[in-house]
Structure 1
Amino acid sequence: MTVTNGYEQSDREQAIKIINLDELEDQARQIIPQGGFGYISEGSEDEWTKARNRAAFNTVQIAPRVLHSVEAPSTSTSVFGVSIKTPVIMAPTAAQGLAHTRGEAATAEGVAAAGTIMSQSTYGTTSIAETAEASKGAPWFFQLYMSNDWEFNEALLDEAKSHGAAAVVLTVDSMQGGYREPDIRNEFQFPLPMANLAAFSETSGKGKGIFEIYAAAKQKITGADVRRVAEYVGLPVIVKGIQDPCDAALALGSGASGIWVSNHGGRQLNGGPGSFDVLPSIARAVNGRVPVIFDSGVRRGSQVFKALASGADLVAIGRPAIYALALGGAQGVRTVFEYLTHEFRIVMQLAGTQTVDDVKRAKLLHY
């Protein structure tokens, strides 16, 4: 363990054995301090929506297909002209130093080794530059939480673009955090600095502190903000937090280059639908015009299959990768993506699908 500001951080770096992703949560609970673990694992209120994210997958079944001459299915795919080995990517998650002393840098290293895409949060404990360096040329996205201070937004976007971000993920469902009881019960405060916020505070010349920047988070986000970010940064902008087809249409009409279907892992609006519940209708509204990314509740290869067959182009995971980060650092993260892709490949073959495009055309049974 490494102790920073009185907070114990894992410094493990080892391969981990995975039987299933659910078991990682209890294993990580033994390593991550209570406050940090509560922040990572929690949903909002009584966590009904967090639970629904998992239950929603059980509303459909995969139709087994045989006699289709399928052997060694390929999980490779591409997005925005970038080829990746698996349709499973890393969702942006904040403050990964709560799980491991190397934080986002270790996650980026593990994700790159697995041949897929890292997403770096504005509120990372590792800087954009450090995460980009750890990616070693592999593709990565930068996730922006907008501030009312446009100079701060510009500084982050400039930094991300200069270090090779392939796209910007604009999160629009987190103008404020959901009511999360573990944080209240644990009286949790972030024990580690947010590297990107700290860097801006030090270099802006305005003397702003981190808490001032937090307080300046933009509450009202509209289509005009999507367009402003897209026009400024000159990279594909993926709007994350879409849960309604009408909002997908608004985002597309405002210049979005991608739609990210997500309810933030059940951390925001409790009582809302599971992310998988709304995926098909949003995918129909998008109608192939831009890539659709999906997250929230994914733990099995069969769930990756169901999401792709319901209209997603990519599927993102968050918590399982962070638990693996605590358990094994970069090697642990790599193992999670390789394991989930292995499960997905098995399902592909049993469902008679040779490629990811075949999966997208696969039949699901509804009941």
Structure 2
Amino acid sequence: MTETNGYFQNDNEKELNIVNLPSLEAEAEKIIPKGGFGYIAGGSEDNWTLKANTEAFNHVQIVPHVLSDIEDPQTNTSIFGIDVKTPIMMTATAAQGLAHAKGEMDTAKGIAKAGALMEQSTYSSTSIADTMAAGNGAPQFFQLYMSKDWTFNESLLKEAKQAGAKAIVLTADATVDGYRESDIINDFQFPTPMANLTKFSEGDGEGKGIGEIYAAAAQKISPKDIQRIKDIAGLPVIVKGVQSPEDALLAIGAGADVIQVSNHGGRQLNGGPASFDVLSDVAKAVNHRVPIIFDSGVRRGSHVFKALASGADMVAMGRPVIYGLALGGADGVYSVVEHLNDEFKTIMQLAGTKTIEDVKHAKLLKK
């Protein structure tokens, strides 16, 4: 264990023997301090939308196909010219030092080893450059929590570009934080610094609650901000937090290069729809004009399959990766992605699909 300001962080480095991803949460809870675990695992209010995210995958069924004359399904794919070994990726998740002493740097190593994509957060425990370097050249996106202070925004965007980020993720659904009861009950304050905030006057995040962090965030985000970010960074912009066809079309019309269908893992608008339940309608509206990343509630290989068959091009997860990080560092992260990818390949085989394109054209039954 490593101690930082009285907060104990696991520093294990080991591959994990995983039966399934849902089981990792209880194991991680044993080693992540209570406040940190509540922040990572909790949703907003009574967690209704958080729970619905995973349950929603049961609203459709995969049709098995036999006599399909295939073996060894291939999971390699690409997104705007970036080749990856799997459509499974890591969504932006803040303050990973709460789970492990090496935080985002170990996540970057594990994701890179798995041949996958990673989004790193503005509110990371480690800096943009250090997280990028830890991935040893593997592709990463930088997620911007837009601040009221455009000097701050510009600094982060330019740093991300210089460090080698392949795209900027504009998180549009977090202008205020959801009502997260676990943080209130635990009186949670961030015990470890947020590296990207240390050079600015609002401080480093240490000793602050999530509400104070969000107080510096921009509450007014408009379509014109997409182009402003593109002009500064010179990179594609992914708009994250889209949950309706109308917003997807609005973002594309304003210059978005990718749509990320997400409800922030049930951490924002409780009572809103499960992310998967809106995916197919958003995909129909987008109609292949730009790629779609999907996240929220992904725990099984069948979930990955269903998301791709419903219009996603990439499928992202957050909490399971963080639990793997907590339990085994970089090797634990690698184990999580590999396990989910193995589950996914099994589903591909049984559904009679050889490639990711085959999966995208698979038909699902609605209950």
Normalised by the length of structure 1, the TM-score is: 0.97
Task: Look up the match of 1:323.
Answer: 323
Counterpart position of 2:307: 307
Q: Name the CA distance, whole Å, in 2 between partners of 1:215 and 1:44.
A: 17
Identify if the C-alpha distance between structure 1 residues 234 and 365 changes in structure 2 by more than 3 Å, giving closer, same or farther.
Answer: same
The separation in 2 between residues aligned to 1:227 and 1:146, in whole angstroms, is 13
What's the CA shift string for 1:274-330, capped at 9, x where partnerless?
000000000011100111000000000000000000000000010000001010000
Residue 124 of structure 2 is aligned to residue 121 of structure 1: no
Q: Which residue of 2 aligns with 1:155?
A: 155
Separation (CA, whole Å) in 2 of partners of 1:229 and 1:23: 39
Offset at residue 256 of structure 1 (A) = 0.3
> Residues 119-151 of structure 1: CA distance to partner in whole angstroms, max 9, x if unpaired?
110000010011011010100000000011111
Which residue pairs with 1:176 in the alignment? 176
Taking the aligned partners of 1:347 and 1:217, their CA distance within structure 2 comes to 41
| Cα 1:256–1:108 shift into 2, 3 Å | same
Other-structure match for 2:228: 228
CA distance in structure 1 between the aligned counterparts of 2:8 and 2:129, rounded to whole angstroms = 24
User: Paired residue for 1:204?
Assistant: none
Question: Contact conserved, 2:121 with 2:142, CA < 8 A, in 1?
Answer: yes
- Indicate the SS of the match to 2:241: strand
Report 1:1-367 matches (<5 A). 1-198=1-198, 200-201=199-200, 207-210=201-204, 214-367=214-367
**Structure 2 Cα separation of the partners of residues 95 and 58 of structure 1:** 31
Task: Give the C-alpha shift of residue 70 in structure 1.
Answer: 1.2
Residue 220 of structure 2 aligns with an amino acid whose one-letter code is K
Shift of 1:216: 2.5
Unaligned runs of 5+ in 2: 206-211
User: Would you say the 8 A contact 1:99–1:323 is kept in 2?
Assistant: yes
Q: Tell me the TM-score normalized by structure 2.
A: 0.97
Contact 2:195–2:204 under 8 Å retained in 1: no
In 2, distance between residues paired with 1:360 and 1:176?
35
- Per-residue deviation, 1:213: 7.2
CA spacing shift, 1:213–1:61, aligned 2, 3 Å = closer
Give the Å deviation of 1:231: 2.0
Question: Separation in 2 of the partners of 1:321 and 1:247?
Answer: 28
Aligned Cα root-mean-square deviation (Å): 1.0
Note if contact 1:263-1:296 (Cα within 8 Å) is conserved in structure 2: yes
**Secondary structure, in 3 states, of the residue corresponding to 2:240?**
strand
Please list every run of 5 or more consecutive structure 1 residues that lacks an aligned counterpart in the other structure.
Answer: 202-206
Give the secondary-structure state (helix, strand or coil) at the position aligned to 1:40.
Answer: helix
Moved over 2 A (4+): 207-216
Shift of 1:208: 4.6
Deviations 1:184-235 (A, max 9, x none): 000000001110011x32xxxxx45346875321001110111211222111
Number of residue pairs aligned between Structure 1 and Structure 2: 361
Q: Does the CA-based 8 Å contact 1:147-1:213 persist in structure 2?
A: no
Q: Percent identity?
A: 64
